Amino acid sequence: MLDQENSGAMGNQAKGQDSKYDLVVVGAGIAGLNALHAAALYLPRTARVLLVDAKDRSGGMWTIAYDYVRLHQPHPLFTVGAEQWTWRKPPNYLATRDEVQAHLASCLATLRGKLDLEERFGHSVSDVREVPVSGHWGAEVDFHKVGDPTETTTVNADRVIYAAGFDYAAPTAVELTSKAVLSVTPADLSATLTDHPNAPVYIVGGGKTGMDTILAVLKADPTRAVSLINGDGTYFWNRTRYFPTGLRRWVGGILAAGIIRDCAMRFDGTNEDDMRAHFIANYAANPDPRNKNFIYGILSEDEDKQIETGLKDKLWDYLEDVVDGETGPILRMRSGAQMPVPEGSLFVTCTGSIFRRQSASKRMPCLSPNDVILSINTNEAMHVLTTYASFILSHLFLTGKLRDAGLYFLDLEALIQQDKQAFSAASMVQAYHNLLMGLKSLPPSSRKHFGMDFNLWYPLPRRLMALYRISKTAREDIRHCRKSLDAVVDRFGIAGGQLT
């Protein structure tokens, strides 16, 4: 199947009828594939669609992620449209990297039968622009083979969906001065643990990758000394309560919509510390009030217990360097604190994969001036989760309703760099606001294709009751959300506001 996804370029500066498409989708990760799924719903079977991606196959970050990564939500809720996983696994099973990649490739294979689809993998898009075409507006897309910008292909399109999403990049190992320790990335972890069976391990970063890495190290060797350099700490959704199993799906747990509304209505644009404390006390799997960061990771209570009991030490500080002292390597922290570490220790970099400022050349408005180009990005973002953003934006874009939907955008990249706690609070308010606006604007038939909706974990009666409760206060909630988001935009001087 994957060899079908690798196609050659169409030639240098291709023009004419063969280079004309009804739609070009840039990006074949989960965001791009969901955009493609929306296209299959609204475009005719004969529509010419081009899919371009820099990687050699579909799957986005799942093609380059570390080998021990797993989904943090139950696998049925991570999909393209409402495509079912073609296996019999318990619904709460957390799929592995390779299983997710195979599922996304299977979804693309299904979409091939619904559109006149052409694919250009191994190609980078260098420019996307609106152009006048015979009295109306269209787009031109320039792309070239990865590593060879000298031969550029240009195609014309009626519309473009640029679905780079997070533009995920695998972390690079932190550079350390000492040569008596080893610095590696998660991609190198398995081989490094085998080659250094007795070496203590220091995990740099307490986010999702850090938690995955701690669990992987402890699974390989429960007796190995593992320490976490935790920074300001990260708190996580409680999967045990958020995704209960058995009868608790009927009588227990908390629906996502309820959690989002509760937190969104507590934030007024200035009190992110209060909202953080409320979330940690009520919804976090790791309810340590010292944790300050939240990037929508999910952890179970059992996983948190394994981590806490398995760690030798947790350092609430940031790594600056490891240097060679008179008696051995010395760990230096941002606070100025120092401590000796054993020679041969392994430092695993688990930071820096998402939400890093994109280059100016990649900054694009969510919607181009003449409604021809949709960009799903993090600097004019409509939702912190690009899976959700892709669904809402693509459906509204392809039905011509996006400009008038009243969605609120934020420069989440800029906000997280200025204040991580304000980012967490504001992005939750934005998610709730745009959910309400999306429910008003999306075609009713589209909702049955939203297989990523976390509320689907619960039986229909509970979902309908949650929707009814939200609808009762929607008008007042929208006003509150807009006031809070306006306050954040003013406080931090970031781009944001209603899309008009």
- Tell me: the pLDDT tens digits for 223-239? 999 999 999 999 999 99
Tens digits of residue pLDDT in 198-221: 999 999 999 999 999 999 999 999
Please give the Cα distance from 14 to 151 (Å, whole number).
10
For residue 368, which phi and psi values (nearest 5 degrees)?
A: -70, 160
Q: Which of 284, 297, 211, 294 is nearest to 254 (CA)?
A: 284
Handedness of CA 393, 394, 396, 397 (dihedral sign): positive
Q: How many CB atoms lie within 10 A of CB 247?
A: 8
Output phi, psi for 226, to 5 deg: -125, 130
Burial class of residue 231, CB neighbours in 10 A (0-12, 13-18, 19+):
buried
- Tell me which residues of the chain have a pLDDT lower than 50: 1-17, 357-361
pLDDT number for residue 319: 97
Q: pTM for this structure?
A: 0.92
Q: Find out whether 299 and 236 touch, Cβ atoms under 8 Å.
A: yes
**Distance (Å, whole) CA 117 – CA 45:** 10
Q: Kindly report the CATH class assigned to 2-169+356-401+442-457.
A: alpha beta
The closest of 381, 479, 471 to 423, measured between CA atoms, is: 381
Closest CA to 166 of 36, 298, 358: 358
Fold agreement (2-169+356-401+442-457, 182-236+284-349): yes
Q: For residue 243, give both structure tokens.
A: 């995704």
Q: Which pLDDT score, from 0 to 100, does residue 353 have? A: 63
Secondary structure of the chain in HEC code, one letter for each residue? CHHHHCCCCCCCCCCCHHHEEEEEEECCCHHHHHHHHHHHHHCCCCCEEEEEECCCCCCHHHHCCCCCCECCCCHHHCCCCCCCCCCCCCCCCCCEHHHHHHHHHHHHHHHHCCCEEEEEECEEEEEEEEEEECCEEEEEEEEEECCCCCCEEEEEEEEEEECCCCCCCCCCCCCCCCCCCEEECHHHHHHHHHHCCCCCEEEECCCHHHHHHHHHHHHHCCCCCEEEECCCCECCEEHHHHCCCCCHHHHCCCCHHHHHHHHHHHCCCCCHHHHHHHHHHHHECCCCCCCCECCCCEECHHHHHHHHHHCCEEECCCEEEEEECCCCEEEEECCCCEEECCCCCEEEECCCCCCCCCCHHHCCCCECCCCCEEECCCCCECCCCHHHHHHHHHHHHHCCCCCCCCCEEECHHHHHHHCHHHHHHHHHHHHHHHHHHHHHHCCHHHHHHCCCCHHHHCCHHHHHHHHHHHHHHHHHHHHHHHHHHHHHHHHHCCCEEECC
For 61-85, letters b (16+ CB in 10 Å) and e give bbbebbebbbbbbbbbbbbbbebeb
pLDDT score recorded for residue 11: 39
Level-2 CATH architecture, domain 182-236+284-349: 3-Layer(bba) Sandwich (3.50)
Q: Which amino acid is at 399?
A: T
Distance separating alpha carbons of residues 159 and 372, to the nearest angstrom = 5
Q: What's the confidence (pLDDT) of residue 15?
A: 46
